Amino acid sequence: MEFLAHMFSGSFALYLMRLISPTSYEKTVLWVVLAMFFASMPDIDGFFGGTLADHHKSPLHKPIFWVGLGAIGYILSIGYGLFPSAYITIIMICVGIHLITDTITARTTGIAWLYPIIKKEYSLYTMDPSKGNFNIFAIRGKAFREYRKFYFQNEGLVIFEYSIFLLGVLTLIL
């Protein structure tokens, strides 16, 4: 999924949380930045090198990593009162949305939901790792252009992704 779509999915998640618990999740700059940052946080692994096809192999794209981090966060929040548990909840929801949307939109590599028990990566669509054999930041090369063509061949995927992006933008306005 495109970075901006991930980022704005955080805005949409915050909007939904504000509907559920308006007193816990206010529409402030802090909350919006927190939600948008953590919705895109797993893709920070792209800064550590490798190819597009490799970047889901880092701990940041493993649900077990976030479950462990969330558990520690809730213990520190609820057990020791270091910060409101609403922070951990929005982080977990935003990262969860990231992993779910990566599973739906993955074209070169999926999400290993059952890692470390099963290392298989799951994706809604057929994956072709060979299309992702380029550096994530090499957006001007031939391999990137070929990947974009491959990615956007699936009209349903494009509609889904742009819908997430537009919902996120809309929720910033609301």
Which pTM does this prediction carry? 0.93
Give strand pairing partners of 111: 122
Domain definitions of the chain by residue range: 3-173
The pLDDT assigned to 68 comes to: 98
The model's pLDDT over 95-114, given as tens digits with 9 standing for 90+, comes to: 999 999 999 998 899 999 99
Interatomic CA distance for residues 77 and 71, integer angstroms: 10
The model's pLDDT over 5-40, given as tens digits with 9 standing for 90+, comes to: 999 999 999 999 999 999 999 889 999 999 999 999
End-to-end CA distance of the chain: 24
